[in-house]
Structure 1
């Protein structure tokens, strides 16, 4: 750089000199005995000498400013917009599939129709929870507060069916599958509890309706268990313990 070359003579001669008494500092200087003397120099040449380096530093400052000041167009669409679009729906993340709930409900409502084993792969618990609350709410309309009994009988029945089906089947069954099937097949019992609001179930008509609801629940549950566990020709063996579980729920509805 030419600016620094012009200042070499300045640093060598006129910028800084040290003298003792009796020496002359040369042009532009004065003589003082035993003291340091700084020569007078031209600041304009010094500024001219640093001209190129000043432009360099100005360019660096402009470059750093462009880095520290992001372009607003980069955030026009917002960060992560594409990722939010590709995410699954909230209900699917929570394990709630309305299509499977409708298919299982229609399978329960038609106990003579063969069940598709693929719908049992999604052992959701949203439907059973809704049906249990509906069963307790319908009993509450009849003046019967039995939410604790429903919970206790449901837990004992699920544990009993879990142990029994694991002994009967080769592949085994999960606890969530037991809860899902028994909860979905509670739907006919909900219809029976709502009918108890209008008519008494302690007569002949009530006995017939109660027996029909227990058989309906048992056939639907055993059909789903046999389809999910590939237990061919074992539906009557599975339907009997299911009838015992739903018979207790029927007693809560009648009495």
Structure 2
């Protein structure tokens, strides 16, 4: 009876050697390498021609190109230089305000129709505030009357001028002209601060100021609307309007 050691020796005996293993590999090469190590395929054979053509690109992936000509001179850099000044965009031109003021102060000076036919309300608003302020210094709180009569008077003169002229006129132009011609009335109200106008001298001064304001407004309207020979017809309703301001100033 065989022992356990003999059984193990018989069990682990094998004819498989390293020489046979090497011979198996050689035989496999002879018969076309059916079970040997497989050869790696040529990776270049499976590359599409589009990728081969684009392989010459030497840049980096996902990195945008930088164009110095585009970023060095932005398109919006010159836009700020071409914009007009802020006061001009708001319709405030001090040169035109000064020329209109001189035209009103000098009744003999001819009016420039191109300048007067503008809806410039900066000067009229300042003159209305100055008239109310001088009346306030004289002890008369009349701001509401000044603004109310100005708005209603501009509506009436606007309707009248559209009936008399062929070209027509805008409400802003009428308000601008009547407001600038209110400057002599501000002078009269300034005199009322220092002495009373309820007398002969005050009445004569008020009549002169009314004629001054109405003739200046009529001159500007006739020049801007080319109303030849109608200056006195326009001056009459303007005199009625400025007469109301004179009554506020005197009384």
Normalised by the size of structure 2, how large is the TM-score?
0.75
**Distance in 1 separating the partners of 2:245 and 2:72:** 60
Mark the CA change 1:54 to 1:157 in structure 2 (over 3 Å): closer, same or farther: same
Larger mean CA deviation between 183-192 and 108-117 belongs to: 108-117
Matched, 1:99 2:86: no
**Distance in 1 separating the partners of 2:245 and 2:146:** 7
Aligned to 1:86: 82
**Residues 151-170 of structure 1: CA distance to partner in whole angstroms, max 9, x if unpaired?**
11011111111111122222
Aligned pairs (5 A) from 1:1-255: 26-28=35-37, 59=57, 62=60, 64-67=62-65, 71=68, 74-76=70-72, 79-255=75-251
Mark the CA change 1:63 to 1:190 in structure 2 (over 3 Å): closer, same or farther: farther
**Residues 102-140 of structure 1: CA distance to partner in whole angstroms, max 9, x if unpaired?**
111110001122212221232311111111112112222
Deviation at 1:251, TM superposition (A): 1.0
Larger mean CA deviation between 152-161 and 166-175 belongs to: 166-175
Larger mean CA deviation between 78-87 and 210-219 belongs to: 78-87
Aligned to 2:10: none
The secondary structure found in structure 1 opposite 2:139 is coil
Normalised by the size of structure 1, how large is the TM-score?
0.74
Deviation at 1:203, TM superposition (A): 2.4
RMSD: 2.8
Structure 1 segments (4+ residues) deviating >3 Å: 39-42, 53-61, 73-79
The secondary structure found in structure 2 opposite 1:232 is coil
**Distance in 1 separating the partners of 2:55 and 2:100:** 74
With CA pairs under 8 Å and 6+ residues apart, which has the higher RCO, 1 or 2?
2
The secondary structure found in structure 2 opposite 1:81 is coil
